[in-house]
Amino acid sequence: MPRRVAKIAVSAATFSIDKPYDYLVPENLAEQLRVGTRVEVPFGKGNRSTEGVVLAVQEESALSSLKSIHRVLDRENVIGEAQVRLALFMRERFFCTVYEAIRAMLPAGLWFDQQGKRKANDKTVEFATLQIGNDEAEALVETKRLKAPQQSALLELLCCFGSLPTRDMLSHTGASRSSLNALVRTGIVSLSEREVYRRPDIQSVEKAQLPELNDDQARAYDGLRELVRSADAKAALLFGVTGSGKTSVYIRLIHDVLASGRSAILLVPEIALTPQMLATFSAHFGEQVAVLHSSLSIGERYDEWKRIKRGEARLVIGTRSAVFAPVSNLGILIIDEEQEETYKSENTPRYDAREVGKYLCARSGALLLFGSATPQIASMYEAKRGRYVYFELKERFNKQELPTVRIVDMKRELRRGNAGDISSFLRQELQCNIDRGEQSILFLNRRGTNKLVSCGECGFTYRCPKCSVSLTYHSARKRLMCHYCGFSCRVDSVCPSCGGELKYLGSGTQHVEEELRELFPGTEILRMDTDTVAPVGSHEKLFDAFREDNIPIMIGTQMVTKGLNFENVTLVGVLCADQSLYSGDYRAGERTFSLITQVVGRSGRGKKQGRAVIQTFTPANQTILQAAKQDYEDFYSSEIELRRLQNAPPVVDRYTITASGQTEEQVEWAARYLFDLLSLSAREIGNTTVLGPAPLSVYRVNNRYRYRVSMLGSQSDAIRRSISAALIECSGDKRFRGVNMFADHDPGD
């Protein structure tokens, strides 16, 4: 008799031993088992019970002796065959196990806690339903009005609605539970449990008409609509200056996709942008919209996932992980602000939502649309090569001019005796805005009060004992903090080394806020950084307060640079434009150009002309000048030539292996061994370069040292195979026990 065998991705399998493992399906579990269900299986020499996911079921196995599945953990499959194929793709592309890939796809509520219980279960509510006709019920209302007034009130309510949640009925009428039970006992009313969804709070908005498009938008929309209608998968880049109305084009395209019976996904880079997008798209698509991001409660995220899986919501809006939404018949996947690094995961699996999107659209025959005012150099490179269809919006949707930009030389400010963070020119502009009742946004990409605290006499600097970074001073807590591991301590009144006077250097958003309060006493100021938006939903409340209360000045980090639309903001200030220019990363110029361009674009989005002030110590820097002119084409031309000279992406592909451990010598030794292995492979592949081993810019985090080896070339498949082989070989080498190694494609640091 043939055996039923399940191929299972096991959670306990590391990357070096990851493969589909064969398990025997017991007869009593055969009916419950299907592809995509989770199971409990014995694994390893000790037969330790571990979770697994069924990838396939077949009749036979090449192995004679098989272990049996212990039990099935799901009533129905949590993933389908399409997601199984996606997990296999992710294993090869992102150097993770199949189980890790599947875990990334599913909401946290589906997983089990240490006691073996699901973290989120279906929520049910008790409903009362009228079991007799309305005429008979209305007669009973009058009969019971004097003798049983509470029963009468309950019946009167049910006559209007037929069925209601019992909790709401009792609360509304003030009736007791015993009165309801009396109606149930006589068969007049029945009780039942119904599943309800835990929905995130969505701002109620009126139904909106489809937006009217100007000529530029209409041309882009017409071209993109043809790509959507095509039977073949396509990728397109929509490049539009800030305020050009890309969202209106998205709405029209999504309307067409939903009308054709297909589904859509819209990705945004920041949680802070989700409420604004959600309100806009809910006005057009109502209950068809589902939202997925990490600030939702476990129950809300689980229920939104269920709505999508059941086809009740066909437009998904969310951050990076929303790319895994279980939509059926995908028609379009839009990645807004596609240049943002937040689309790349920094944790295992280290996937890039843009790469996952390419795979999904290729499998579904859907359109992948990248949208940005400052596209990635890599995306524009693909557009120039003809691999992406290119569309452009050259003007703002309301024909308003782009903001006028003034560059301020902060060296000159110092010579004039102004050592503060606000130049005299920016101060005048802020005062003008306050006098006119207009709003201003100031951008500084550093939170806290001061970047470091140092002694001016002996040079002592407070540094994190666990990480290779200086501690940041936070005046609100009067503590020094590490932004990598969370270590904190109090600052001394004098230098602990020599007793000298301590200097507070490198301003952060808290310090700028304090300076603004001194410059503009009595003026309300709002600060937006991770210290002020920690509570769930607080970023939305702060943005609403800024808009509705017409707060004159908002100071913030990256979260104020993109996707925000405040019509009364007419002034933007970039306080330290040089900050990201000299990080040593080949993308430093790209990041700086994007940040400046995006934040400048927040100004003048209404009917009033916008202005921007860029403060810098290097006013002649080419990138800053290009950002001030909002000249992306010029920036791209110079940047791509620099990438060719550097032999850097996107001209070549870049893969890395990072080794980390508690002993620096052992980590460096492992990195050197990796370098030797990859160098041998590079000679076989040809036209491939291996760099390193080298410590990361922050080489120690939480007492773990970090070294990296990089491999650059155009033969991506061969490079990935070489890196996988090197990881597998090193993981079995006892000399490197205690050293953790992981591979990544073009990491963000």
Report DSSP letters for 167-221, one per residue: HHHHHHH---HHHHHHHHHTTSEEEEEEEE--PPP-------PPPP--HHHHHHH
Cα–Cα dist 525/550, whole Å: 10
| Residue 172 CB neighbours (<10 A) | 12
- Residue 116: its pLDDT value, please? 78
Residue 516's alpha-carbon distances to 406, 420, 557, in angstroms, are: 20, 10, 16
pLDDT in tens, 508-536: 999 999 999 999 999 999 998 887 776 55
Cα–Cα dist 526/547, whole Å: 11
| Residue 294 CB neighbours (<10 A) | 12
Q: Which CATH number fits domain 5-106: 1.10.10.10, 3.40.1440.60, 3.40.1160.10, 3.40.50.1820?
A: 3.40.1440.60
Paired tokens of 73: 């953990």
Cα–Cα dist 657/693, whole Å: 10
Backbone angles phi, psi at 423, to 5 degrees: -70, 160
The enclosing H or E element of 299 equals helix 298-309
Backbone angles phi, psi at 461, to 5 degrees: -130, 135
The angle formed by the CA atoms of residues 259, 261 and 262, to the nearest 5 degrees, is 105
- Secondary structure (3-state) at 676: helix
Check: CB of residue 188 under 8 Å from CB of residue 148: no
Check: CB of residue 350 under 8 Å from CB of residue 742: yes
AA identity, residue 100 = E
Q: Respond yes or no on whether the N-terminal peptide bond of residue 650 is cis (omega within 30° of 0).
A: yes
Q: Which stretches of the chain score pLDDT less than 50?
A: none
Q: CA 201, 203, 207, 213 torsion: positive or negative?
A: negative
Closest listed residue to residue 394, CA positions, set 216, 264, 259, 236? 216
Strand partners, 404: 611
Closest listed residue to residue 733, CA positions, set 666, 657, 665? 666
Separation of CA 472 from chain center: 26
* Parallel, antiparallel or unpaired: strands 704-713 and 688-701: antiparallel
- Residue 339: its pLDDT value, please? 94
The enclosing H or E element of 251 equals helix 246-259
- Residue 203: its pLDDT value, please? 65
Cα–Cα dist 550/566, whole Å: 10
Strand partners, 265: 316, 333
Closest listed residue to residue 430, CA positions, set 578, 278, 570, 280? 570
Check: CB of residue 208 under 8 Å from CB of residue 347: no
Paired tokens of 714: 């155009």
CATH 3.30.70.600 domain span(s) along the chain: 653-745
Q: Which CATH number fits domain 653-745: 3.30.70.600, 3.30.460.10, 3.40.718.10, 3.40.449.10?
A: 3.30.70.600
Number of Cα atoms under 13 Å in the Cβ half of residue 174: 1
- Residue 558: its pLDDT value, please? 85
Q: Which CATH number fits domain 404-447+508-643: 3.40.50.720, 3.30.70.270, 3.90.1150.10, 3.40.50.300?
A: 3.40.50.300
The enclosing H or E element of 690 equals strand 688-701
Scanning 74-185, the segments in alpha helix (DSSP H) are 81-94, 98-105, 134-147, 149-161, 166-173, 177-185
Backbone angles phi, psi at 352, to 5 degrees: -110, 120
- Secondary structure (3-state) at 258: helix
Closest listed residue to residue 460, CA positions, set 424, 511, 419, 501? 501
Topology at the third CATH level for domain 215-393: Rossmann fold (3.40.50)
In this structure, what DSSP letter does residue 110 have? Answer: G
The enclosing H or E element of 624 equals helix 622-628
pLDDT in tens, 430-451: 999 999 999 999 999 888 888 8
Closest listed residue to residue 151, CA positions, set 125, 181, 123, 121? 181
| Residue 636 CB neighbours (<10 A) | 21
CATH 3.40.50.300 domain span(s) along the chain: 215-393, 404-447+508-643
CATH 3.40.1440.60 domain span(s) along the chain: 5-106
- Residue 57: its pLDDT value, please? 93
- Residue 581: its pLDDT value, please? 85
The angle formed by the CA atoms of residues 566, 374 and 717, to the nearest 5 degrees, is 140
Q: At what angle do helices 246-259 and 215-229 cross, to 10 degrees?
A: 30
Residue 682's alpha-carbon distances to 246, 712, 714, 741, in angstroms, are: 43, 9, 11, 20
